[in-house]
Chains A and B, each alone.
Chain A
């Protein structure tokens, strides 16, 4: 008894002492007691929390970049773990990702992690510029990306990346070839057109304003012809250059046999311009200002839509970052065992590989030597790492968790599990149901109607009444305002996408918001989607009078620096408690670890590991909720505590599902995890249709069965095993830490590590639909009044243009409400 009292006293002491804590000057974390990390910054000695922060701070000080600390608005990035082997990025195989520009300059695009504020961007740029051979680096804080130009003869990509990593930021090149260049070109192209239309449009409007008033009375009458010619000249760049995307769109629409919005837009522009030019020559009313305003407004709407869509899709570039695929091959030439670094593409079946803990398997194989556990959650949905020993098959994409494994390659290239999934994805995507879009459905009819009215008007005025028919046709085409109608849905969708982005949901396909309204079923994955995908401490069973909090503190200290899911969970559980100092730490991979804290020797590990140290240890008892992971803590031959851990349901899952159910959506859960675990999660959340133990093809088949029964299904998933389902679903939603395959097939990507975004998106989609309906009704109602007036010849073309602008403004302001109401809710 006296022994355990002494133990309690020794443990309680550091806990009580920790009331006054010191914060790390670099990252703001708490500085562990007794540690001496510090750096001399601006002449003062600043305390730091770890060797990583010290290295970063020293780099900053060495380069005279201390301004970072005075200008920053958020703490710095804490360097996490060691810098990977960046030398692999110099591999010529990656040259395709860093194209050689004409003048011996290479260009690379980087995705950045750890950026917090504008000072970070400055720090990163300043430090990278110091690397000889770096010509230009520009950090885009909004996209968390940088574009880089360097001289490959002087600088190596790995040096530049190293300069960024040394500050605690993580930078990866990504394959920008596919999209980035195209996106920039498209954006600049629209911006140029918009600028030209706006600048020349202003001139045209200025002149036209003078002509609106009675020209003869105001004295400009003499110059009428000159001013008309001037406007003709200044409208020409707008019609011939700025408006060409509409002509192309109209031509495409006509060729494919349906009427889009671009057809009346083009007809309006061309007719109004041609008519005005004719009147300039022979004398008469001109409508150049209508043309200019019309084009400028439409281009503005398209540009805003483009920017919003690009911003959302840029966030996805993080999913396509390039990881150099290298492995260590064991070559047994003439008796000696050599480790050789080999590119994955050069592997052959039969090769022996050494897979270190924490690394992802690049190929399928069979374990030959070693014993470890592999995290296969991305592939199968199994929440707990599965034990793998000699003779077991391991799959590419799974992560070796505990100790080194020696595997023999069984399949490479197209044969590996991941490639087969990709195949399934491609087949599933081909069968994705297309939902009709509200706007395009209505627009087609509307356009046909307007064209018919214009033709009738021309016939009536020209043939029957014998009046000039051109002003009537122009007024009909301009006032009918494809504008309000054209803006009605894009403005609402753009505002909604922007609002959702602010709440952490990236809309990658704008139409997805419209489709989301008609969804009848939502199918969820379990691991990583409804559950957090990582272990969390559930309960602690103490066996002595050592307090639970002290046990947690000791466990966290022992596990500090370990990457095992169990370790991370134990460290999380001790958050806020002062850190203890461990000495003589000894790690036994796959079993547990031992360390000395304040003179006491502790052991933490599996039941088998502790059984060797504690006599008479009883076997594990699962609680009523099913299987758990566990870690045991012992000291001086006595069991102190049992930690029970489990992959827990996300805290916001219940509320999210309740909101969806209240909206009348049927919920289902298809999981690859064991049926017992799936059933438990399903029962807790109240999901009716729960299926466990499903393989990717089975999930796809179940989804197709639902669709065949007439359901419109949205799928929320994270893993590679969900990718085929995501590709087939009407709406695919990928969660924040989803695998690349899942994200690339998604319509919506949740950017925050929470599931509430699904309910937010559904709710906003409904409101968006309502606003779109209002906008369309307004546009149609306005036209119902304005068209007959225009047809009767009561509306001058300039008045038509003003009405059209006002009508567009109403639609835009109504759409902007979507953004505001969400901001007010602040959810």
Chain B
């Protein structure tokens, strides 16, 4: 069961990473407009 110390450390690192990624996403405006980008991918303007 000593593995728990490693697991705790891993989970702390993970939650730190995820939180950092989430804050980065919010700050760079990823959540500001949730409709348009989803459809933008359907538009292809690099025709041959």
CB of B39 within 8 A of CB of A118, answer yes
Residue A200 is within 8 A (CB to CB) of chain B in the complex: yes
Pick the residue among B15, B27, B32, B35 that contacts A199 (CB under 8 A): B15
A188/B26 in contact, CB under 8 A? yes
Segment at the B interface, from A135-143, A164-172, A281-289: A135-143
Residues of B within 8 A of A196 (CB): 19, 22-23
Determine if A390 is an interface residue (Cβ-Cβ < 8 Å). Answer: no
Question: Which listed residue (A67, A219, A226, A230) contacts B43, Cβ 8 A?
Answer: A67
* 21 residue pairs bridging A and B, Cβ less than 8 Å apart: A64-B45, A64-B47, A119-B39, A122-B39, A122-B40, A122-B43, A138-B36, A140-B36, A141-B35, A184-B32, A188-B32, A191-B31, A192-B22, A192-B26, A195-B22, A199-B18, A200-B19, A219-B1, A222-B1, A223-B1, A234-B12
The residue from A68, A121, A233 contacting B36, defined by CB atoms under 8 A apart: A121
**Interface of chain B residues 1 through 41 with chain A (CB within 8 A):** 1, 4-5, 8, 11-12, 15, 18-19, 22-23, 26-27, 31-33, 35-36, 39-40
Q: 4 nearest interchain CB pairs?
A: A118-B39, A122-B43, A195-B22, A140-B33
Using Cβ atoms and an 8 Å threshold, which residues of chain A touch B15?
Answer: 199-200, 203, 234
Complex Cα gap A126–B42 (Å): 13
Min CB distance B4 to A, Å, is 6
Cα distance A230–B5 in the bound complex, in angstroms = 11
Contact B19 A140 (CB under 8 A): no
Apart from A195-B19, A234-B12, 9 more pairs, CB < 8 Å: A67-B47, A126-B45, A138-B36, A139-B36, A188-B32, A192-B22, A195-B26, A200-B19, A234-B15
A67 touches B27 (CB 8 A): no
Type the 1/0 row for A164-205, where 1 means its CB is closer than 8 Å to any CB of B: 000000000000000000001001100110011001100100
In the complex formed, the residue of B with least CB distance to A42 is B47
B contact residues around A199 at 8 Å (CB): 15, 18-19, 22
Q: 0/1 per residue, A111-123, Cβ < 8 Å to B?
A: 0000000110110
Contact B45 A65 (CB under 8 A): yes
- Cβ-defined contact, B4 with A223, below 8 A: yes
- Categorize the interface residue count of chain A: 20 to 34
Per the bound structure, the CA–CA distance linking A370 and B47 in Å amounts to 57
SS class of chain A's interface: helix, strand, loop or mixed?
Answer: helix
User: Across the interface, do A141 and B36 meet the contact criterion of CB distance under 8 Å?
Assistant: yes
Closest to B23 in A: A192
Which residues of A does B touch, CB under 8 Å? 64-65, 67-68, 71, 118-119, 121-122, 125-126, 138-142, 184, 187-188, 191-192, 195-196, 199-200, 203, 219, 222-223, 226, 230, 233-234
Of A68, A188, A222, which one neighbours B27 at CB under 8 angstroms?
Answer: A188
CA distance A76 to B23 in the complex (A): 38
Q: Which residues of A contact B32 (CB under 8 A)?
A: 138, 140, 184, 187-188
CB distance from A196 to the nearest CB of B (A): 6
Look across to chain B and name the residue whose beta carbon is closest to the beta carbon of A222: B1
Residues of chain A lying within 8 A (CB to CB) of residue B44? 67
Quote the shortest CB–CB distance from A221 to chain B (angstroms): 11
B35 touches A118 (CB 8 A): yes
A184 to B29, CA, bound (A): 9
Contacts of B40 in A (CB 8 A): 118, 122, 125
CA distance A141 to B40 in the complex (A): 12
Q: How far is the CA of A188 from the CA of B26 in the complex (A)?
A: 6
Contact of A140 with B35 at beta-carbon distance under 8 Å, contacts A195-B22, A200-B19 already known: yes
CB distance from B41 to the nearest CB of A (A): 10
**For residue A65, which residues in chain B have a CB less than 8 angstroms away from its CB?**
45
Contact B36 A119 (CB under 8 A): no
Least CB distance, A666 to chain B, in whole angstroms: 43
Question: What residues of B have a CB within 8 angstroms of the CB of A184 in the complex?
Answer: 32
Question: Given the complex of chains A and B, what is the CA–CA distance between A64 and B44 in angstroms?
Answer: 10
| A140, B40: Cα distance in complex, Å | 12
Known A195-B26, A203-B11, A223-B1: A138·B19 in contact at CB below 8 Å: no
Contacts of A223 in B (CB 8 A): 1, 4
Q: Is the CB of A67 within 8 A of B26?
A: no
For the complex formed, measure the closest distance between the CB of B34 and the CB atoms of chain A, giving whole angstroms: 8
Q: Please, which residue of chain B has its CB at the minimum distance from the CB of A138?
A: B33
Give A185 Cβ to nearest chain B Cβ, in Å.
11
A288 CB to nearest chain B CB (Å):
14
> What is the CB-to-nearest-CB distance from A228 to chain B, in angstroms, rounded to a whole number?
12
Chain B residues contacting A67 (CB-CB under 8 Å) are 43-45, 47
- Whose C-beta in chain A lies nearest to the C-beta of B8? A230
The CA of A212 and the CA of B32, in the complex, are separated in Å by: 39
Chain B neighbourhood of A200, CB < 8 A:
15, 19
Cα distance, A118 to B36, chains bound together (Å) = 6
Residues of A within 8 A of B4 (CB): 223, 226
In angstroms, Cα B1 to Cα A122, docked, is 56
- Give B28 Cβ to nearest chain A Cβ, in Å: 10
The interface residues of chain A lying within 8 Å CB-to-CB of B47 are 64, 67
> How close is A69's CB to chain B, nearest CB, in angstroms?
11
**Residues of the A chain whose Cβ atoms lie less than 8 Å from the Cβ of B35:** 118, 140-142
How far apart are B47's CB and chain A's nearest CB, in angstroms? Answer: 7
Please name the residue on chain B nearest to A118 by beta carbon: B39
Which residues from B are CB-within-8-Å of A139?
33, 36
Q: How far is the CB of A97 from chain B (nearest CB, A)?
A: 20
A64 to chain B, nearest CB (A): 6
Cα-based distance from A65 to B45 in the complex (angstroms):
6
Known contacts A64-B45, A71-B43, A122-B40: A195-B23 contact under CB 8 Å: yes
User: Quick check: A226 and B36 within 8 Å, CB to CB?
Assistant: no
CA distance A203 to B16 in the complex (A): 11
Taking CB atoms, residues of chain A closer than 8 Å to B23 are: 192, 195-196
Residue pair B42, A71 in contact (C-beta under 8 Å): yes
Contacts of A125 in B (CB 8 A): 36, 40
CB distance from A208 to the nearest CB of B (A): 14
Complex contact B19–A191 (CB within 8 A):
no
* Closest-CB distance, A194 to chain B (whole angstroms): 10
Give the nearest-CB partner of A233 in chain B: B12
